[in-house]
Amino acid sequence: MDNATRLQYLEAMGIDVWVPRFSADHEPASAPDAIADSAPPSELIDSWEALQAEVAPCTQCDLCKTRIQTVFGSGNKNAGWMFIGEGPGQSEDQQGLPFVGKAGQLLTEMLRAIGLDREEVFIANIVKCRPPANRDPTPVEIESCKPYLLRQLTLVKPKIIVVLGRVAAQALLNTDEPIGKLRGQIRALNGTPLVVVYHPAYLLRSLLDKRKAWADLKLAMQTVKNIKG
């Protein structure tokens, strides 16, 4: 992407000017899976196929009664960056893909601003089914669905996790700290660095916090850069 185009994405995010000192780092589109000699028996190894086959017909919680379809997640299954939202909205429920509505458009712009395409990151949600009327998922819904996300994280093995919004951040970090405290610093989940960023749907309403979101994205970029050394 040329600099002029990137500046356009930054403008769309409400950021005036940004001159990058380094470029975002990420995995190639397809890294081969390495299988060690001492690998456990195949029936103990999780796979995308097994996980997808479990998620698609899931009836673990009552959200299955109102959903059109489950929204598994999408993107590069070997991504260096994994983005985690709260749960599907109406457009996502209809299309079966995460972040395809208005908030998704802003997420795409945020990704482009740090030099990433949607196809090269993996995007998923805490809950795989739309909560009715876009309410927050309940603790019971979160706890029944979270194992799917943790398995996705184990399969992707990202370098960094970016968590979008309070609900996802509190659920993943098992905390009730407010998002104002959770953002702005590097956390970790099972040894993987994790950065909390305001949810794009919130940023659509709260222009002032876009600057903080941009600072958090830069923190995530710097974190990935530091991992490479």
Residue closer to ligand URA, measured from CB, 128 or 159: 128
Considering only residues 48 to 87 of the shown chain, the ones binding ligand URA according to CB under 6 A are 85-87
CA gap 41, 155 in Å, rounded: 16
- CA–CA separation, 203 vs 16, rounded Å? 16
Question: How far apart (Å, rounded) are the C-alpha atoms in residues 36 and 124?
Answer: 28
Q: In the complex with ligand URA, which residue's Cβ is closer, 105 or 192?
A: 105
**Amino acid (one-letter) located at 159:** K
Q: How far apart are CA 154 and CA 124, in angstroms?
A: 13
Sole residue written with tokens 């997420």: 107
Q: How far is the CB of 216 from ligand URA (least distance, A)?
A: 16
Q: How many residues are present in the chain?
A: 229
- For the segment 88-147, give every residue that binds ligand URA (CB under 6 A): 88-89, 92, 98-99, 101, 103-104, 125
Q: Would you tell me the crossing angle of helices 139-156 and 166-173 to the nearest 10 degrees?
A: 80
CA nearest to 152, candidates 130, 192, 122: 122
- Min dist. Cβ of residue 164 to ligand URA (A): 6
d(C-alpha 212, C-alpha 200), whole Å: 12
Nearer to ligand URA, 25 or 194 (CB): 194
Least spacing, CB of residue 68 vs ligand URA, in Å: 13
Comparison of 80 and 101: residue with beta carbon closer to ligand URA? 101
Smallest separation (angstroms) from ligand URA to the CB of 100: 7
Comparison of 80 and 104: residue with beta carbon closer to ligand URA:
104
**Which residues in 182-211 contact ligand URA (CB under 6 A)?**
201
Residues that bind ligand URA (CB under 6 A): 85-89, 92, 98-99, 101, 103-104, 125, 201
